Chain A
Amino acid sequence: MPITGHPRHLQDGYDVVVVGTGPAGMAAALGARDQGADRILLVDRDADPGGILLQCIHSGFGLHAFDEEITGPEYAQRYLEQVLEHDIDVLTDAYVMDISPERRIKLMSPTVGITGLDARSVVLATGARERTRGAIHIPGDRPSGVMTAGLAQRMVNLDGYLPGRRVAILGSGDIGLIMARRLALEGVEVVGVFELLPHPSGLMRNVVQCLDDFGIPLHLSTTVVGIHGRHRLERVTVAPVDDDLEPLLARSWDLDVDTLLLSIGLIPDAELARELGVLFDPVTGGPVVSGIMETSLPGVFASGNVVHVNDLADWVSRESRVAGEWAGALASGARRPAEDVRLIPGDNVAYVVPHTISRDGTHTVSFRVRQPIYAPTLLRVGEVHQRKVRAVVPAEMVTLKLAPQMLEGWTGAVLRIDAVPAEAVVR
């Protein structure tokens, strides 16, 4: 894979600086170019552009963006080629230390030292990070061999090592499911996936293709309650949980494993946004964004997993394109649309992104439900729009398109999004 290196001359000022070169960052940079932004810089702390895609060597990417199923690195490659064709500067191995509210960016890299540069617009596309053992408090020892599924994925896929020989996986997030299959293919024994909730938190297609097809058991309503091993992990204790998610210790059992992978969720890696003091959504853990993916600080945009954890890279690219287009347009002197409609989560909806929209634009609205409904479900956008779907589950993000004509004649200021069983709706 041809990796760019460092732009020969870092310019002092850019129209658009995009932090992060995953699917979000690259799509945003291209969007900015579409809107005529001239000087665009993509920055990444890793040595190679592509973000987390580079370690996702499984297929399942691109079905929406390219109408075909490709792997993560291929997906990154396609975007990177476009980025290079469009003469966008790419600076890797560079860590953005700080961004001022005036959009002065301070970064460090072995090639340029510590440098400051100004941007008319900034797009934060820094993705998400994995939740760790500290987030869930499992009693016991603290041996080696307990790690996030993502770290194991990087070891196996990028560097060709194995995390262990007998593995249990806590949490049924997508990375954990994918790693179950990946390790099984490597000859590692995967004794099971243990999920606290009564339903899987990863995509159904991953449950089928990664567990069922490999005979790996999925234990729902079960969790790890003990970790044993002075040096290396030797054993974990698992137990079913009751309706309040409290472990039933009397029914616990032990598993001899040398590795425990944690796939217990992602959280937006939004530290730069936090330091900038922008508004946050406590549910997503990411910044509040407008219909053009701008944060509460003018000129600072955010998109992709740093805003809310998506389940497909394709969704990230789409949303980031919007962020990049507007970052570019604003840098070129365009005016931002008036946004006077608020979107808020209603019945059985955990969060909605974006948080505000304009009446006269077309918007893709993304949200997640709180509880699964395995029956026809009505998705309602206030009084202006509704759509029926076959089922909804928290693992799968739901998207709806809102067009200006739907809002014609409607004069309200708040649209509540609901996801309720279709039968229960009395019309």
Chain B
Amino acid sequence: MGPSRRHDVVVIGGGVVGITLARALSRYQLDIVVLERDAEVGFGVSKANSGIIHSGIHADPKTMKGQLEWPGNEGWLRLRDDLGFGFAQVGELLVALSDGELRTVEHLHDQGERKGVPGLQRWDVDRIRKHQPNLSRDIIAALWAPTAGVINPYEAVLLIADNAAANGVEIATEQPVIAIDPPDPHEPDGPLTVRTPTRTLVTRYVVNAAGLRADEVARMAGVGTFTITGRKGEEYLLDKRLAGLVTSVIFPCPTPTSKGTLVIPTFDGTIMVGPTAEATDDKDDTATTPEGAQAVFAAARRLVPVISQRDVIAEFAGVRAVAEGDDFILGPTARRGFINAAGIQSPGLTAAPAIADHLVEVLRDEGLELRERSDWRRRAEHPVRFSVLSTQEQEELAAQQPDFAKLVCRCELVTKAEVLDAIDRGARTLDGVKFRTRAGMGRCQGGFCTWGCLELLAERRGIPITEVTKRGGASWILRDREDAHAAPTPGS
């Protein structure tokens, strides 16, 4: 496609930061495009994290992280009210096991209060035991922060993206940015040209929200002033049986590089333990390791002794994007119109709504006129989740539309109508359908529904079933028969 239209803002990266910003901008009269490299939005680290919306006690208020953490938490409450994804303020309990840690607890209590985090309380052993009876008997005191919460990060990102799209934002997937052209020498402050293998976009502003690759994107724009390194975190989900083991997020005292290994009651009700924090040279390294598992379980057992590695039912890893200085890099650059949202390490998920608000102000300062739209739709039209409807609602839907009476995933009770709707909303891959509908997330892990989802994806998208992938790229799922005898293609 040629550069026929001139955009106002091109956001590079469809993670929580890019998507939340696009949605925040969608209330103004602007032409906005999000370019995402992967086949689905939110499939970077925004999907592979602990899912905690922090209370705001942790980060140093002198840093950007520290300033945007608590406002981010408040921002999530507003987003939830608008869009209705799951976000439960289950609270966090930061525990001390020694006198040294007690001092950390005191320090964070103090810091939290100075930052305006509400409801902080120091708990003694009796109180801890009463609320969280499964915690270690070695815990001597704790800091209670009631506003911390848990969300399903992928659900949130997808709903925010749907709402942005409903308000006219174009979300283009499988669009890796490969070049940002140097400006016309006659017009150094003129528009920027952004290229992907298949598109060229001309835009007044570019926001670099490319996560782990934000340094490369900044270099493309000629403003490579920082480098991003990876810090990997492994997470382990435990059997549903253990639901209720803890009812708030349990934190140990932090170390300089990490908040430590947590015991998390996820929004879905399962218990998750993690993450680790290991520097990695390979930003795409999301493999779990035996050493990681060992570290996580040793640390988790310090907090909740009954936790065992035998209860693992799923595991994953995410990589934090860490910039020099260990803080977020937010703001304009020497290249006019090119704005960074880089180095968004933890607590990036928490801070995302506040990062978005901050960047809207940055864009305004840089000259972007923000005129409110009269037709902005604050609320999202929700995908129907059949399994949570009342019997009467289910019966009515099924009577009106036979696709609601056709089951696709039996563990999570997902119907054909929901899968088709997910595809219409932009799911392009098997994982895209899974994270939108939950088909394949249940106890049989897709054994039953994979085939049905593949067929529906192929049919609805009008492609051969062999072209449907798990999550884009080379993640093919099946081959034609004739291919067995053909020479393997390199790299597959």
Interface residues of A (CB under 8 A from B): 45, 93, 95, 97, 108-114, 129-130, 132-135, 137, 139-145, 147-148, 150-151, 154-155, 159-166, 186-188, 225, 227-228, 230-232, 249, 258, 269
Contact = CB atoms under 8 A, between A and B. Distances in A.
Contact of B470 (A113, A135, A144, A159): A144
B476 A162 contact: no
B366 interface: no
B417 to A, nearest CB: 10
Given A108-B398, A144-B477, A129 B448 contact: yes
Nearest to A247: B290
A108 B469 contact: no
Given A93-B406, A132-B447, A232-B492, A161 B466 contact: yes
A389 B430 CA distance: 50
B150 to A, nearest CB: 21
Interface stretch (B96-104, B185-193, B313-321, B332-340): B313-321
B127 to A, nearest CB: 36
Interface of chain B, main secondary structure: mixed
Contacts of A258: 488, 492
Contacts of A230: 284, 286, 473
Contacts, number: 133
Contact of A160 (B469, B471, B481, B492): B481
A165 B309 contact: no
Contact of B445 (A111, A113, A134, A160): A134
A162 B314 CA distance: 26
A99 B50 CA distance: 37
B403 interface: yes
A140 B287 contact: yes
Contacts of A114: 391, 394-395, 398-399, 405
B394 A163 contact: no
A161 B465 contact: yes
A133 to B, nearest CB: 7
Given A137-B315, A143-B470, A165-B488, A45 B410 contact: yes
Contacts of B485: 187
B67 to A, nearest CB: 35
Contact of A161 (B312, B313, B469, B481): B481
Contacts of B450: 147, 151
B451 A162 contact: no
B475 A110 contact: no
Contacts of B475: 143-144, 231-232
Pick the most buried of A93, A110, A111, A188: most chain B CB atoms within 10 A of its CB.
A110
A139 B290 contact: yes
A95 B407 contact: yes
Contact of B473 (A145, A148, A225, A231): A231
B474 A231 contact: yes
A165 B450 CA distance: 20
A139 B312 CA distance: 11
**Among all A-B residue pairs, the 7 with the closest Cβ atoms:** A144-B470, A110-B402, A231-B474, A132-B445, A95-B407, A231-B475, A144-B475
A169 to B, nearest CB: 16
Contact of A129 (B284, B293, B447): B447
Contacts of B314: 134
A164 B479 contact: yes
B406 A109 contact: yes
B415 to A, nearest CB: 8
Given A95-B410, A110-B403, A150-B447, A165 B478 contact: no
Interface in B446-492: 446-448, 450-451, 465-466, 469-481, 483-485, 488, 492
Nearest to A269: B444
Nearest to B401: A110
A112 B477 CA distance: 34
Contacts of B309: 137
A228 B472 CA distance: 17
B29 interface: no
B121 interface: no
B136 interface: no
A132 B476 CA distance: 19
A128 to B, nearest CB: 11
Contacts of B399: 113-114
Interface string B137-160: 000000000000000000000000
A141 B29 CA distance: 43
Contacts of B477: 144-145
A186 B407 contact: no
A161 to B, nearest CB: 4
A111 to B, nearest CB: 8
12 contacts: A93-B406, A108-B405, A109-B405, A114-B391, A132-B445, A134-B312, A137-B309, A139-B290, A144-B470, A160-B481, A164-B478, A231-B473
A186 B484 contact: yes
B480 A232 contact: no
A270 to B, nearest CB: 11
